[in-house]
Amino acid sequence: MQKVLVTGGCGYIGSHTIVDLINNGFDVVSVDSNIRSSTKLLEGVEKITGRKIHNYKVDLCNLEDTNAVFHENRDIVGVIHFAALKSVGESVNEPLLYFQNNLTSLINVLKCVREYNIPNFVFSSSCSVYGNATELPVTENTPLGEAQSPYARTKQMGEQMIEDYARVNATNSILLRYFNPVGAHPSGLIGNCPSANPITWCP
């Protein structure tokens, strides 16, 4: 069974992705510091899939700890990198927190992807890279616009880092730019819990 590492696996999109990966025959490990989540969604994933998911409670900004996860899982065939802070409003008030967290974690994950020769890498980017698009609908060919927040800038910078990385490394990389997903798994066991205060995660 091929193994995929999902970062941010305890979050909204990460948890749903893990369900899909398992349903499609993959083995999954998660890395999530739970800075903006708890392990509650993973419990939901386990109930839905009947499979135990191991989450490494690791801050991806810590290179040594991140490296240890890859060292323990040398058979990983791909990484889906969801882990990030994502509140646009908070990023305006705390830009350094966003640059520090979102970019350092990405750099560390890419360092490990290279060191352990992981063939596939998916970056959870965002439609916010298009800025205030003047023409709708936005397509993959729409030029990127001025970032409207530090959060959006971390996604633009992240994409640029990956493009430069991909030029000189053999990893297959994809930038996944999506708009705000809505909804929840039909079981109701996992879902999104928007909160005015991004520090709070409500079960």
Ligand X SMILES: NC(=O)c1ccc[n+]([C@@H]2O[C@H](COP(=O)([O-])OP(=O)(O)OC[C@H]3O[C@@H](n4cnc5c(N)ncnc54)[C@H](O)[C@@H]3O)[C@@H](O)[C@H]2O)c1
Q: Which is nearer to ligand X, 10 or 45 (CB)?
A: 10
60 binds ligand X (CB under 6 A): yes
Q: Which is nearer to ligand X, 11 or 170 (CB)?
A: 11
Tell me which residue of 22, 75, 21 sits closest to 50, measured CA to CA.
22
Binding to ligand X by residue 159, rule CB under 6 A?
no
Q: Which is nearer to ligand X, 46 or 59 (CB)?
A: 59
Query: What's the closest the beta carbon of residue 22 comes to ligand X, in angstroms?
Result: 17
Which of 22/85 has CB closer to ligand X? 85
Shortest spacing between CB 57 and ligand X, in angstroms:
8
Which listed residue (82, 98, 130, 165) binds ligand X by CB under 6 A?
82
Contacting ligand X within 29-58 (CB under 6 A)? 31-37
Helix H, strand E, coil C: the string for the chain is: CCEEEEECCCCHHHHHHHHHHHHCCCEEEEECCCCCCCCHHHHHHHHHHCCCCEEECCCCCCHHHHHHHHHHCCCEEEEEECCCCCCHHHHHHCHHHHHHHHHHHHHHHHHHHHHCCCCEEEEECCHHHHCCCCCCCCCCCCCCCCCCCHHHHHHHHHHHHHHHHHHHCCCEEEEECCCCCCCCCCCCCCCCCCCCCCCCCCC
What is the distance between the alpha carbons of residues 200 and 181, in angstroms, rounded to a whole number? 20
- Smallest separation (angstroms) from ligand X to the CB of 56: 9
Identity of the residue, 88 or 168, whose beta carbon is nearer to ligand X in the bound complex: 88
Name the one range near ligand X by CB under 6 A: 20-28, 91-99, 133-141, 175-183.
Answer: 175-183
* Interface with ligand X (CB under 6 A), residue from 30, 55, 105, 156: 105
The structure tokens listed for 86 are: 């994502």
Among the options 116, 151, 165, 178, which is catalytic? 151
Q: Is residue 89 within the footprint of ligand X (CB under 6 A)?
A: no
Instruction: Give the residue from 63, 61, 18, 10 showing the smallest Cα distance to 34.
Output: 10
- Active-site residue flag, 151: yes
Contacts with ligand X by CB under 6 A lie at 8, 10-14, 31-37, 59-61, 82-86, 101, 105, 124, 126, 178, 180-181
Which residues belong to the active site? 151
